[in-house]
Amino acid sequence: MNLQMRLKDERRLGLSEGRAEGRAKGRDEMQDEMTLGLIHALQAQGMPQKQIVEAQHYYEQVAQADNESAH
């Protein structure tokens, strides 16, 4: 009986870890999509490539700081 309960707890723990990894992956994918959207929008407005790269770096820094504060 004790072994069965321990196995159930380990399965639950594994599932919650899997969900956390899935959320992190989804968040990363969403951030990539938003970055690409930002780049395309700036290109459409005629912004020079150098400024687009700077904007991208700034956006990534802000997004990373936001992700770190969420944890």
Average pLDDT, the chain: 79
Burial of 58 (0-12, 13-18, 19+ CB in 10 A): exposed
- pTM greater than 0.75: no
Q: What angle do CA 52, 54, 55 make, to 5 degrees?
A: 65
User: 26-44: buried (b, 16+ CB within 10 Å) or exposed (e) per residue?
Assistant: eeeeebeeeeeeebeebee
Through-space distance between the first and last CA atoms of the chain, rounded to whole angstroms: 36
Task: Check pLDDT > 70 for residue 70.
Answer: no
Condensed to tens digits (0 to 9), the pLDDT of residues 14-54 reads 666 666 677 777 778 888 888 888 889 999 999 999 998 98
